[in-house]
Amino acid sequence: MEIKRDYYLKALINRMHNHLIKVVTGIKRLGKSYLLFHIFQNYLLEQGISESHIIRIELDQRKHRQYRDPDRILEYIESCIQDGEMYYILLDEVQLLKEFEEVLNSLLHIDNVDVYVTGSNSRFLSKDVITEFRGRGDEIHIFPLTFREFMQVYEGDMYHGWADYTLYGGLPLTVTMKTEAQKVSYLPRLFEETYLRDIIERHHIEKTQELN
């Protein structure tokens, strides 16, 4: 069950080979990783790009923890580049990479790479993209599902779908939840454990009880 996000896929396609770092931003749990690692990667494969020319590293996975070191990841990426054809580098949760600004700027000096990254924590607001990359970043900011996207996978008619959409919103995971209890439990927990925590980290708030 795939939610097609054609608007954002087209945005990525239109930015291919523009010699900038494509940065997919947006709040957590919006499907940024899914957009990059499934929808966009499938597009590349459909265009005849070999899997060996798609370098994907999910930095939030433990098996890729070693690549959070800037020198290790650069060494690994350079070892994967075996010819002069174009290579597509997909990095997920790039804020986990130490000195990620220097790493990404270093990649821009390699002629046959096209770089795409996601980031979503307290260091990665839209204005930070402009600041961190000094004109070398090209942002694709994604939003929750539109009603049309929501209805692609909603199991029910349009009227019940609209009622659910206006009540629970367009976060992709809520569409797949079967009961109201799941949605009512998920959304406040997401707000408290994820969004509120990012605000506390970003602004170094010490009086968390008062904020809550």
Per-residue DSSP letter, 146: P
Q: Which of 96, 95, 98, 104 is nearest to 77 (CA)?
A: 104
Task: Using pLDDT thresholds of 50, 70 and 90, give the confidence band for residue 164.
Answer: very high
Is the pLDDT confidence value at 199 over 90? no
Task: Using pLDDT thresholds of 50, 70 and 90, give the confidence band for residue 64.
Answer: very high
Distance CA 87, CA 110 (A): 10
Q: Which residue has the higher pLDDT, 78 or 212?
A: 78
Distance CA 67, CA 6 (A): 31
Give the H/E segment covering residue 137: strand 137-141
CA distances for 129 relative to 53, 90, 106, 179, angstroms: 26, 17, 16, 38
Task: Give the tokens for residue 211.
Answer: 């904020």
Which residue is associated with the tokens 């019940």? 160
**Looking at residue 148, what is its pLDDT?**
94
CA distances for 160 relative to 3, 50, 76, 127, 170, angstroms: 19, 43, 50, 38, 14
The predicted model scores a pTM of 0.85
